[in-house]
């Protein structure tokens, strides 16, 4: 396709998988049965992805507990009372808190990629969580005999290994989920927290060559969970100047749900670098109505007035179910929106004579 298009990642889990996970946690479903249901969900998701005609697919994060916490599942040095993230509808997601060192990932993202590879020969994209979000695990009061600087060194090493493992496993692209970027400006309007996050993520990216960084991207959005966001009221003008200083080749930017898309596109044009590809969001996962291919086409044509064609791509605003228990969007609607994105991107390419 002349205009590249990629998904963000997550697809709503089947109801039977969500029920099976609950059953396993409550002790009335065995591990073998849960594993079989995971495999059914993974296989079905990949088959549906392939049926959309998507040139790049993902595993839908079917076997992750959430986009953020997959490296933590099973760790024994965590407490449940970490940083809380409030959403606009009043519900809250809470991170765990590290209780002792050293910090290590319990699982790396390459394991999900390898698992998905059993069911497809299509190019696979893999999402990883940012080092900056996981930096929030360290308690403000510190940890005896495990200073914050030592934690950061361990964190960077693990984050580098997470990305490196995906590249080595043959990922088409690796996407660093940086949803806390916009939220950081809500927590700290001075921008100092955002700059700390950017510096940490650039430290991770410094371990990769220029050629490797062309396959690494950064995703930003105002959060998406149970049809609510955590930072949609934060102005992109405060985020984009810093965002484009990240030394990544691709940027996946939520745009379809923005009230003034043209204003954001102007900001992107003035801040993007010549070596960066900008994937703009053309479908809104938390809107209960699916976009039409014609609506997607028009959004792409709009963006083409501001972003050079050789740097323009399309994507979804956010994952459709970043947290495993989110049932606010159906699998059917998610794939309908993906089909609209692919068809609309193709219509725009035809209109532009590509």
| SS (HEC) of the chain | CCCCECCCCCCCCCHHHHHHHHHHHHCCCCHHHHHHHHHHHHHHHHHHHHHCCCCCECCCCCCCCECCCHHHCCCCCEECCCCEEECCCCCEEECCEECCCCCCCCCCCHHHHHHHHCCCCCCEEEEEECHHHHHHHCCCCCCCCCCHHHHHHHHHHHHHHHHHHHHHCCCCEEEEECCHHHHHHHHCCCCHHHHHHHHHHHHHHCCCCHHHHCCEEEEECCCCECCECCCCCCCHHHHHHHHCCCCCCEEEECCCCCCCHHHHHHHHHHHCCCCCEEEEEEECCCCCCCCCHHHHHHHHHHHHCCCCHHHEEEEECCCCCCECCCCCCCHHHHHHHHHHHHHHHHHHHHHCCC
Domain boundaries, given as residue ranges, for the chain: 54-351
The token duo for 27 is: 């002790």
Contact 39, 63 (CB under 8 A): no
Q: What pTM was estimated for this model as a whole? A: 0.94
Fold of 54-351: TIM Barrel (3.20.20)
pLDDT score recorded for residue 327: 87
Give the whole-angstrom CA distance, residue 311 versus residue 178.
21
Task: Establish how many alpha carbons lie within 13 A of residue 112's alpha carbon, considering only the half-sphere containing its beta carbon.
Answer: 29
Parts of the chain with a pLDDT under 50 = none
Q: 192-205 vs 236-243: helix axis angle to the nearest 10?
A: 30
pLDDT tens across 258-311, in order? 999 999 999 999 999 999 999 999 999 999 999 999 999 999 999 999 999 999
């Amino acid at each position: 396709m002349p205009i590249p298009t990629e998904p963000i990642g997550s697809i709503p889990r089947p109801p039977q998988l969500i029920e099976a996970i609950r059953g396993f946690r409550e002790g009335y479903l065995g591990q073998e049965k849960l594993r079989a249901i995971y495999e059914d969900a993974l296989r079905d998701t990949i088959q549906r992805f392939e049926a959309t005609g998507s040139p790049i697919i993902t595993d839908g994060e079917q076997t992750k507990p959430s986009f953020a916490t997959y490296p933590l599942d099973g760790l024994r040095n965590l407490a449940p009372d970490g940083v809380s993230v409030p959403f606009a509808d009043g519900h809250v997601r809470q991170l765990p808190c590290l209780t002792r060192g050293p910090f290590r990932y319990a699982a790396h993202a390459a394991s999900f990629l390898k698992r998905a590879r059993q069911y497809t020969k299509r190019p696979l994209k893999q999402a990883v969580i940012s080092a900056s979000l996981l930096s929030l695990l360290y308690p403000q009061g510190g940890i005896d005999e495990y200073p914050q600087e030592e934690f950061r060194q361990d964190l960077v090493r693990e984050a580098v290994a997470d990305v490196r493992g995906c590249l080595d496993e043959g990922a088409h692209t690796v996407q660093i989920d940086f949803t806390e970027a916009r939220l950081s400006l809500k927590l700290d309007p001075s921008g100092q927290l955002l700059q700390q996050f950017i510096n940490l993520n650039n430290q991770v990216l410094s371990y990769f060559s220029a050629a490797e960084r062309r396959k690494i991207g950064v995703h930003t959005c105002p959060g998406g969970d149970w049809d609510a966001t955590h930072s949609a009221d934060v102005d992109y003008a405060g985020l984009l100047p810093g965002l484009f200083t990240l030394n990544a080749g691709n940027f996946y930017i939520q745009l379809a749900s923005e009230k003034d898309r043209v204003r954001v596109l102007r900001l992107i044009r003035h801040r993007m670098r010549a070596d960066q590809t900008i994937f703009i969001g053309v479908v809104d996962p938390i809107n209960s109505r699916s976009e039409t291919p014609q609506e997607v086409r028009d959004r792409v044509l709009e963006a083409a007035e501001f972003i050079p064609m050789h740097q323009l791509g399309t994507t979804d605003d956010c994952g459709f179910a970043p947290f495993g228990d989110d049932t606010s969007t159906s699998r059917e609607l998610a794939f309908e929106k993906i089909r609209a994105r692919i068809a609309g991107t193709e219509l725009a390419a035809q209109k532009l004579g590509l």
